[in-house]
Chains A and B, each alone.
Chain A
């Protein structure tokens, strides 16, 4: 309670200009995570600089601005030899800037799925797609067990 009181007093002490900046920042934080869907095309309109995409969005189309970041998060069972592989990426439009694996299972389990996280940066205006397939490296894409595709419009 006292913490909230301090916050309230602190806010009152700020100048109108600072209050405006702070409120704009807060509104930005609330609005940014959402990608409203276009009523006409079903495309995801993403005015923000970063969008997180999971398996549910496979086959969909997203619209982003040049410089924006797309973060793709896909689970896989690394302990079974499987991994997601990027099998189509047009370097003219998108750049892979990082890739890592996160633990998502509870403590003590062996063989549990992990989460692969890939971050791409939109380089310039145009249309492209990110195609990924899940397979064991020694078996190859012909034995892929799952697929992911994301159409990306940069404008």
Chain B
């Protein structure tokens, strides 16, 4: 018995020494330089942005977490979408190429600020596009540049989340059952305001929503659904994504987990084998706030993609 106890103590000590040794030998390099070198080495076709301040930090992080996603009940509606759009490119911004409406169906870029409200921006963006597509939007949604609905209403009133994150399913249910007012009625403040600040105004709703993809997204399913309008979806953010400036993003292998995120897919481009996506980080990031991501990146992009109908 005595021997066993002593052996266990000895083994614990050895294990502790091994862990400390491992941690102390871990070496780190500057992240942006690393990102640029990795893009080159891995033959990716995107450009990482250079900022002097980003050079100040050491950015190698240890991955410990994975993608956070909604639990499925089995009762969710799934859309079996057949697309009549056969072109190799579709862009609801009507910029890179056209779309079934031949008009702009995406509203201007937004900035969520330092608030975990991406879920509200992705779903509100999808609602704005839905209203524009229907063509029956009362002001301000009678034009894409003016159509601006209240993300703050989702953050403060829906119960689907807050600045500490939220659920796109809850937000979409709320948009269907209650709807959202225009931005001016409850302006975005990037903080958890009381719902009592909401004014009394007409609301904009969707008829319903369904999943296009869940845990095993396919690029083809998303492309088919895109013929019906922009699609809110989720993705994992890795450290190299912060430095994206332009091009078709592919995650570099040693980039590290930084959180999960909701965005709005607004098109695709077969020539470059990528989706066109609206982010909510303002116009200074990426391609005026948008990014393009390769079809090959579906292991962390395109999960739980939704279609508003």
Contact = CB atoms under 8 A, between A and B. Distances in A.
Interface of A: 10, 13-15, 18, 21-22, 25, 77-83, 85-87, 96-103, 105, 107-114, 116-117, 119, 121, 134-141, 145
A87 B65 contact: no
Given A81-B285, A99-B61, A138-B285, 18 more contacts: A14-B1, A79-B260, A79-B261, A80-B112, A80-B113, A80-B114, A87-B56, A109-B167, A109-B260, A110-B119, A110-B166, A110-B262, A111-B119, A113-B259, A116-B61, A121-B24, A137-B51, A141-B56
12 contacts: A14-B5, A21-B9, A80-B118, A101-B62, A110-B167, A110-B262, A111-B119, A111-B259, A135-B53, A137-B243, A138-B54, A140-B53
A102 B65 contact: yes
A18 B243 CA distance: 56
B57 A78 contact: no
Given A77-B114, A101-B65, A101-B259, A119 B23 contact: yes
A13 B58 contact: no
A108 B115 contact: no
Contacts of B124: none
Nearest to B31: A137
A110 B258 contact: no
B2 A112 contact: no
How would you classify the secondary structure of chain B's contact residues: helix, strand, loop or mixed?
Answer: mixed
Contacts, number: 179
B53 A109 contact: no
Given A103-B65, A109-B165, A136 B281 contact: yes
B202 interface: no
Contacts of B166: 109-111
B109 to A, nearest CB: 13
B137 interface: no
Interface string B284-302: 1100000000000000000
A65 to B, nearest CB: 15
A155 B75 CA distance: 62
Contacts of A99: 28, 58-62
A119 B56 CA distance: 17
B237 interface: yes
Nearest to B28: A96
A23 to B, nearest CB: 13
Contacts of A82: 114
B281 A100 contact: no
Contacts of B189: none
B82 interface: no
- Which of A22, A111, A116, A140 is the most central at the interface, judged by chain B CB atoms within 10 Å of its CB? A111
A27 B195 CA distance: 51
Given A78-B259, A97-B24, A100-B61, A111 B242 contact: no
Nearest to B4: A10
A109 B67 CA distance: 10
Interface in B82-97: none
Contacts of A107: 68-69, 71
